[in-house]
Amino acid sequence: WRRNHRNTSCVIMSNNMQFMLLFSRQGKLRLQKWYVPLSDKEKKKITRELVQTVLARKPKMCSFLEWRDLKIVYKRYASLYFCCAIEDQDNELITLEIIHRYVELLDKYFGSVCELDIIFNFEKAYFILDEFLLGGEAQETSKKNVLKAIEQADLLQEVRYVIKPPWEQ
Amino acid sequence: MPAVSKGDGMRGLAVFISDIRNCKSKEAEIKRINKELANIRSKFKGDKALDGYSKKKYVCKLLFIFLLGHDIDFGHMEAVNLLSSNKYTEKQIGYLFISVLVNSNSDLIRLINNGIKNDLASRNPTFMNLALHCIANVGSREMAEAFASEIPRVLVAGDTMDSVKQSAALCLLRLNRTSPDLVPMGEWTTRVVHLLNDQHLIVTSASIDLQDYTYYFVAAPWLSVKLLRLLQCYPPPEDAALRSRLTECLETILNKAQEPPKSKKVQHSNAKNAVLFEAIALIIHHDSEPTLLVRACNQLGQFLQHRETNLRYLALESMCTLASSEFSHEAVKTHMETVINALKVSLAQFGSRDVSVRQRAVDLLYAMCDRSNAKQIVAEMLSYLETADYSIREEIVLKVAILAEKYAVDYTWYVDTILNLIRIAGDYVSEEVWYRVIQIVINRDDVQGYAAKTVFEALQAPACHENLVKVGGYILGEFGNLIAGDSRSSPLVQFNLLHSKFHLCSVPTRALLLSAYIKFINLFPEVKATIQDVLRSDSQLRNADVELQQRAVEYLRLSCIASTDILATVLEEMPPFPERESSILAKLKKKKGPGKLPDMDDSRRSVNGSTDSTHSFTDVLNLNPAPSSGANLLIDVFSESSAPAAATDVSEENFPRFVCKNNGVIYENQLLQIGLKSEYRQNLGRMYVFYGNKTSTQFLSFSSSVSSSDLNVHSKAVDPVIEGGAQMQQILNIECVSDFSDAPVLNIQFRYGGALQNIAVKLPVMLNKFFQPTEMMSQDFFQRWKQLGAPQQEVQKIFKAKHPMDTEVAKAKILGFGVALLDGVDPNPANFVGAGVVHTKTTQVGCLLRLEPNMQAQTPNGNAAPPATDPSFPFGAGLPGSHLGICSRCRGEQGDGFVGLKGTWPKSHELKVAFDLASFLPPDGRVCERLLLRT
């Protein structure tokens, strides 16, 4: 072992996702989640560029590509593309499975999810993603636990807290 | 429209989304959106207070419109209201809006932060989680500033629920990553580590069923990947027992890869292989267990033939890093056939052309190349080049050129390879490549005859690339005589062949050919008349292009009036080029970006590329980069403000240009031009001053004197008259007595048309002129470097990059600065290291120099560089900007001492010159071009 000490703070955890985009085969953006602070202009530029690049790729091509300083991991599910940007040191395969786990969660929640579910309930799609990933890190990888948390949140929907929540009284 | 499946449906929102989807055209959609925006605006502005539900609905509509790609510039206030609501769904939408549409309005941010603060303090876990998510997802500096102190408190509070703790921990990590200065990890590390133990306890012993974390028959892949990644932050364990346990774990992972899959699903294989690749990354990182490395390599070899494109791609990528480990380089080589196959297969496969996979294969071939397989690899790359994608051709050309030069045993092979490159991919052969082949041919007389013969044959092709004409013109012009004995390549045949290409070429190539023709006149008197006829033709003598016309006229005149002897002297064979590193390598590095290029040195080093060594080097040296104002021996060389006060204004405009060179024009006005030529040996120097009268009138009463406070300068008397248009020379003898900081001043007086002219020029005599280069071994260098740790022995300076930087230019500048450039001394090939001794009459002062690219800096225009006096600033560590340091030992008291000069460049894809003293100069790396013109 020689001198390849890495600066620990840079690589402390595994996947440091920069952003996730969901878009349709027609190139319509369905969901965007950014884990790095960027200007709207930049976000738009990146989105345009990536949608174009990914849509141009053929089915049998590999799911990873180098793009700027980042690695892009993408996968197509029916009419939707799920596309994540990770850093150089990050694990591509586990990112593919993060995408898959998210799809499973959507599927379970909506019951056989389709693009329309995500269009009409985009806020739910966001909430599910937030329950699963935090700041780009998988915070809860158990499908059961994520769904449980979402169901609990759904139960809270119509509860009005008068002054304090019940468990505080 | 599907029924909204769960939760509280917002009917208005669903209707709006349906409307948009039913729009037949883009215009209709925009019209519908504008209508909705107007509606929402009026609702928000209206007198009637909106209830929570309506607010939520409208904010959601705005979000949807934003997702469609339209700008949203209002609604933030309503979102903040929702965020402060005590109804969960409203709060949730409020947070969603805020984190998707981050706004930088400071008043708003204050309100948002207030809302978040309240939720963090609410002790309601659901609210706390929403707040933490928002902070982590936005992750901006402002967020870090506002909550840096709050989150750790949540994290370690006794009564915080575990789910909230988890969110708080990830949130803290996120902020630490974006703003490490605001959220220093150090303070909290110990407490967080305790927490880690805690969570382990929970996971292993308590209620959570591990079954939940099994993913397609793979146990906890996310956790495994994370732990393996964590281990890559550390060196291999030193404790033998621990080490063997780790090896055992890694072996288990490698063994598992050989077991039959438990499921046919791709998720199973992906999760399993994600762990496997992470384990291999750890093995490569440790780079210490030969058996593991070889096993890893063989595993990757299997993947190279896998039907999954993803696995082939990742295997090629991992193997590339593996190839630079000394333990596994040989093992990697055994898979060469497979790699070449992968390259070929991916071409044919499914008719799909996946550039990324082939790019990886080429990278790997390059990394695994050594003397034993160079010929085969270069041949493969050349044959691949014929069908390669345009996007990667230039890179392959550079790689082939580098490998061919590096591993050339006989240079005929090298010449063949480069000519093949030009034939196959002439358009992608950059100047560096064909300059280089010419340099090598000129420097190696054993290959000149062969080169002449080969280019002659290559030029026979009816259509050949212009780059080939350039190389052919140059080489035949120099060495055509070596093949002229054969009647098939007699001088006239050679000339006719070259000239048949002339009219198809661009102006620069034609100019080069004209130079080749005049060289022919010298080499072969028998074709003189033919060539003179060509030069005399109207298409040459009256060419619309000034450069071509001038060459034709001058060469024609030269051939007519000069004697054979003069011709032979003027058109003598080019002298050998100074040996230096190939500029092609620099170009490739620039193209690929530092760190992405496998280390090509035979002594294989850090497998993680060169970026890391900057740090470790610093650790070894443990430098305290505090400059001392009293002892800056060399620093005065660079300061322009130290000019001595003089009656007339002292001109020093061109002074900095002479820091790294000795010849040039130091002063010029409408009347007079002063040129310098100087040479130095030890503590003595001689300077030739040329006074050029630019007018047509005499200069009268011409006199000059040199004033210097520190140096002994003797000037020879000059003639008091300079004729119009004439030039006069004066010799100055200079002796350096002791170290000095003030440069001498040349005072000139003369009469022009009755008026007395007074001119004062600062002469470029700096301390560095009295450097004698010193060669030194790596060990000596660093030993001495380390000895120079005292604050008064070192000074450093930070520079911003000024010019785009080229390794060759930088080297030339450092050499011009006067020190010896020590190759192979610094473990990081990107660094420059030099040594020299300053000679004065009374003492000699040894100097060490180190110029260090700052590989970690993100952008050249990032944060301001820290002040050099900041002792916490680790030398060369990850901060933008760059620095250059100078250190010196107090001289006189202890005899000889050392002066060190250290500097860093900011990393960017094009390295920029930060070398302040040298960047005063215009880039002067045009050696090749100029030499070509002189042909």
pTM of the predicted structure, to 2 decimals = 0.60
Using 50, 70 and 90 to split pLDDT, how confident is the model at A89?
confident
Collect all residues with Cβ–Cβ distance below 8 Å to A153 and sequence separation of at least 6.
Answer: A127, A131, B88, B92, B126
Using 50, 70 and 90 to split pLDDT, how confident is the model at B581?
low
Query: Residue B548 has what pLDDT?
Result: 92
Q: Do B215 and A156 touch (CB under 8 A)?
A: no
Whether the pLDDT of residue B735 is over 80: the answer is yes
Q: What tens digit of pLDDT does each residue of B532-547 get?
A: 999 998 888 888 888 8
What are the angstrom distances between the C-alpha of A120 and each of B390, B506, B694?
Answer: 43, 61, 82
Query: Residue B610 has what pLDDT?
Result: 32
The stretch B681-705 carries a mean pLDDT of 88
The stretch B321-341 carries a mean pLDDT of 77
The stretch B872-888 carries a mean pLDDT of 29
What is the pLDDT of chain A when averaged over all its residues? 81
Min Cα distance B653 → chain A (Å) is 42
Min Cα distance A50 → chain B (Å) is 15
- Report whether B135 contacts B113 (CB < 8 A): no
B928 is in an annotated binding site: no
The stretch B607-631 carries a mean pLDDT of 30
B297 versus B753: the higher-pLDDT residue is: B297
Query: For B8-12, B50-54, B221-225, which range has the lowest pLDDT when averaged over its residues?
Result: B8-12
B717 versus B470: the higher-pLDDT residue is: B470
The closest CB to that of B356, out of A33, A34, A65, belongs to A65
Collect all residues with Cβ–Cβ distance below 8 Å to B195 and sequence separation of at least 6.
Answer: B155, B156, B165, B169
Q: How far apart are CA B295 and CA B255, in angstroms?
A: 10
Query: Residue B472 has what pLDDT?
Result: 94
A23 versus B423: the higher-pLDDT residue is: A23
Q: What is the dihedral of CA A79, A85, A88, A90, to 10 degrees?
A: -80
Give the SS3 label for residue B853.
strand
What is the pLDDT of chain B when averaged over all its residues? 75
A66 touches chain B (CB under 8 A): yes
Residue written as token pair 């002219």: B757
B281 versus B864: the higher-pLDDT residue is: B281
Interface test with A, best of B1, B4, B5 (most A CBs within 10 A): B5
Q: What tens digit of pLDDT does each residue of B474-504 get?
A: 999 999 999 999 989 999 999 999 999 999 9
The stretch A44-50 carries a mean pLDDT of 94
Min Cα distance A80 → chain B (Å) is 15
Query: Residue B895 has what pLDDT?
Result: 25
Q: Do A122 and B64 touch (CB under 8 A)?
A: yes
Query: For B113-122, B148-157, B428-437, B573-582, which range has the lowest pLDDT when averaged over its residues?
Result: B573-582
A84 versus B708: the higher-pLDDT residue is: A84
Nearest alpha carbon to residue B263 among B230, B206, B214: B214
Residue B639 buriedness (CB in 10 A; 0-12 / 13-18 / 19+): exposed
Q: Closest chain A residue to B618 measured between Cα atoms?
A: A3
Q: Closest chain A residue to B87 measured between Cα atoms?
A: A160
Residues forming a β-bridge with A137: A134
Whether the pLDDT of residue A159 is over 60: the answer is no
Q: Closest chain B residue to A66 measured between Cα atoms?
A: B356
Query: Residue B793 has what pLDDT?
Result: 60
Query: Residue B470 has what pLDDT?
Result: 94
Q: Do A5 and B616 touch (CB under 8 A)?
A: yes
A130 touches chain B (CB under 8 A): yes
Whether the pLDDT of residue B221 is over 50: the answer is yes
- Chain B residues whose CB is inside 8 A of the A93 CB are 270-271, 273-274, 277, 310, 314
Query: Residue A105 has what pLDDT?
Result: 93
Query: Residue B805 has what pLDDT?
Result: 55
The stretch B183-209 carries a mean pLDDT of 52
Query: For B193-197, B526-530, B581-585, B767-771, which range has the lowest pLDDT when averaged over its residues?
Result: B193-197
Q: Do B274 and A144 touch (CB under 8 A)?
A: no
Query: Residue B133 has what pLDDT?
Result: 87
The stretch B14-26 carries a mean pLDDT of 90
Q: Do B270 and A139 touch (CB under 8 A)?
A: no
Nearest alpha carbon to residue B365 among B403, B392, B401: B403
Nearest alpha carbon to residue B421 among B452, B396, B451: B396
**Alpha-helix residue ranges (DSSP H) falling in chain A:** 40-55, 92-110, 115-120, 122-132, 143-156
B57 is in an annotated binding site: yes
B455 versus B634: the higher-pLDDT residue is: B455
Interface test with A, best of B310, B395, B591 (most A CBs within 10 A): B310
Whether the pLDDT of residue A86 is over 80: the answer is yes
A67 touches chain B (CB under 8 A): no
Q: For residue B93, how far is the Cα from the chain centroid? A: 45
Q: Closest chain A residue to B124 measured between Cα atoms?
A: A165
Query: Residue B65 has what pLDDT?
Result: 93
Q: Do A124 and B7 touch (CB under 8 A)?
A: yes
- Chain B residues whose CB is inside 8 A of the A104 CB are none
Query: For B108-117, B316-325, B840-849, which range has the lowest pLDDT when averaged over its residues?
Result: B840-849
Instruction: Spell B102-114 as b/e; 16+ CB within 10 A means b.
Output: bbeeeeebebbbe
The closest CB to that of B8, out of A62, A134, A157, belongs to A157
Using 50, 70 and 90 to split pLDDT, how confident is the model at B307?
confident
Give the number of other CB atoms < 10 A from CB of residue B307.
7
The amino acid that residue B118 corresponds to is N
Residue B527 buriedness (CB in 10 A; 0-12 / 13-18 / 19+): buried
Using 50, 70 and 90 to split pLDDT, how confident is the model at B791?
low
The closest CB to that of A62, out of B267, B285, B354, belongs to B354
Whether the pLDDT of residue B812 is over 80: the answer is no
- Chain A residues whose CB is inside 8 A of the B71 CB are 40
B60 is in an annotated binding site: yes
Nearest alpha carbon to residue A20 among A149, A126, A104: A126
Q: What tens digit of pLDDT does each residue of B281-298 get?
A: 999 888 888 889 889 988
Using 50, 70 and 90 to split pLDDT, how confident is the model at B427?
confident
Percentage of residues of chain B with pLDDT beyond 70: 76
Q: How far apart are CA B260 and CA B444, in angstroms?
A: 58
Query: Residue B186 has what pLDDT?
Result: 62
The closest CB to that of A138, out of B222, B232, B619, belongs to B222
- Chain B residues whose CB is inside 8 A of the A36 CB are 139, 178
Residues 34-53 (A) with a CB less than 8 A from some CB of B: 34-37, 40, 44
Min Cα distance A84 → chain B (Å) is 15
Whether the pLDDT of residue B278 is over 70: the answer is yes
Whether the pLDDT of residue B821 is over 50: the answer is yes
- Report whether A83 contacts A74 (CB < 8 A): yes
Query: Residue B40 has what pLDDT?
Result: 92
B11 is in an annotated binding site: yes
Q: Do A134 and B170 touch (CB under 8 A)?
A: yes
Instruction: Spell B587-609 as b/e; 16+ CB within 10 A means b.
Output: bbbbebebebbbbbeeebbbbbb
Min Cα distance B146 → chain A (Å) is 16
Query: Residue B89 has what pLDDT?
Result: 85
Can you read off the two tokens belonging to residue A25?
Answer: 């085969």
